């Protein structure tokens, strides 16, 4: 399988007052195309920071990030915007869907930014929201809201889906449903879609193709799971 993402000595420093704080410290790893990746680590380990850098939402202090042979860590603002629009689908812990748009409109929104988005209705049916098209976010449960966010990410038809603790705010049963959706997305398109999930739930590691462990801003390990379990095999 071909190499899709490469982190090389990536460091991210925050300045708090006079002090400098390394949220990421010389992180290096690679991710292949089509992998279902889980990034594990305790709170404050730098998981979100890493995902933000990968999603083109933040810039590195030093080091190099390569995606699809392009060095995105050297992108300017405009290139980053295009990268975010065309290559990445982002899913947040707190869903971040627009409260004043309906379910359908929240997904249809991507028409504004992507040239060839997937049909919003079809995608919403896929995630099981076919019945709720005209509801507003505050009329949905947390799990349903996260599905909207997933539908929005999928509708962009991106190469990479990044999810930052997508199940963090959900009960475990709903969480499983969400994971299934993400896994399904990873397996579609002939296994060419890459999904990267950040979590501190170690159980999720069992279903991943690759597990990257972070601690104190450093990559502890990046291991390939020879035999990932299917979601139903895992006891949640």
Point out which residues bind ligand ADP (CB under 6 A).
14, 16, 21, 23, 41, 43-49
How many Å apart are CA 87 and CA 178, to the nearest integer? 21
Q: Are 17 and 185 in contact (CB under 8 A)?
A: no
Q: In the window 67-126, what residues touch another protein (CB under 8 A)?
A: 77-78, 81-86, 88, 90, 92, 94, 96-98, 100-101, 105, 108-114
- Relative to beta strand 88-91, strand 160-164 is parallel
Contact between 59 and another protein per CB under 8 A: yes
Q: In the window 12-41, what residues touch another protein (CB under 8 A)?
A: 17
Q: Show the tokens assigned to 52.
A: 């933000």
- Kindly write out the interface string for residues 24-53 of this chain, putting x where it contacts Mg ion by CB under 5 A and - elsewhere: ------------------------x-----
Buried b (16+ CB within 10 A) or exposed e, 71-104: ebbebeeeebeebbbebbbbbbbebebeeeebbb
Residue 90: its H or E element: strand 88-91
- Kindly write out the interface string for residues 183-222 of this chain, putting x where it contacts another protein by CB under 8 A and - elsewhere: ----------------------------------------
Q: Pick one of another protein, ligand ADP, Mg ion, none as the site partner of residue 144 (Cβ within 5 to 8 A by kind).
A: none
Q: How far is CA 43 from CA 47, 105, 183, 184, 217, in A?
A: 8, 34, 24, 27, 11
How many Å apart are CA 124 and CA 107, to the nearest integer? 8
23/31 with CB nearer another protein: 23
Q: Show the tokens assigned to 198.
A: 């950040």
What is the contact surface with another protein in residues (CB under 8 A)?
A: 17, 48-49, 52, 55-59, 77-78, 81-86, 88, 90, 92, 94, 96-98, 100-101, 105, 108-114, 152, 156
What is the contact surface with Mg ion in residues (CB under 5 A)?
A: 48
């Amino acid at each position: 399988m071909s190499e899709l993402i490469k982190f090389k000595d990536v460091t991210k420093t925050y300045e708090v007052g006079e002090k400098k704080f390394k949220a990421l410290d010389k992180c290096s790893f690679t991710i292949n195309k089509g992998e279902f990746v889980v990034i594990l680590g305790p709170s404050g380990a730098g998981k979100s920071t890493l995902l933000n850098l990968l999603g083109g939402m933040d810039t590195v202090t030093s080091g190099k990030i390569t995606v699809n042979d392009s060095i995105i860590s050297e992108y300017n603002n405009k290139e980053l915007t295009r990268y975010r629009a065309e290559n990445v689908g982002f899913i947040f812990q707190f869903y971040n869907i627009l409260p004043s748009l309906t379910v359908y409109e929240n997904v249809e929104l991507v028409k504004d930014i992507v040239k060839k988005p997937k049909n919003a209705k079809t995608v919403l049916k896929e995630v099981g929201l076919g019945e709720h098209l005209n509801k507003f976010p505050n009329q949905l449960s947390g799990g349903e809201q996260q599905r909207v966010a997933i539908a929005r990410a999928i509708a962009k038809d991106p190469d990479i889906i990044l999810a930052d603790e997508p199940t963090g705010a959900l009960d475990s049963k709903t969480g499983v449903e969400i994971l299934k959706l993400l896994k399904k997305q990873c397996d579609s398109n002939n296994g060419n879609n890459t999904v990267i999930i950040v979590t501190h739930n170690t159980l999720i590691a069992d279903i991943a193709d690759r597990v990257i462990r972070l601690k104190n801003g450093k990559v502890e390990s990046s291991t390939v799971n020879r035999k990932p379990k299917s979601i139903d095999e895992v006891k949640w």
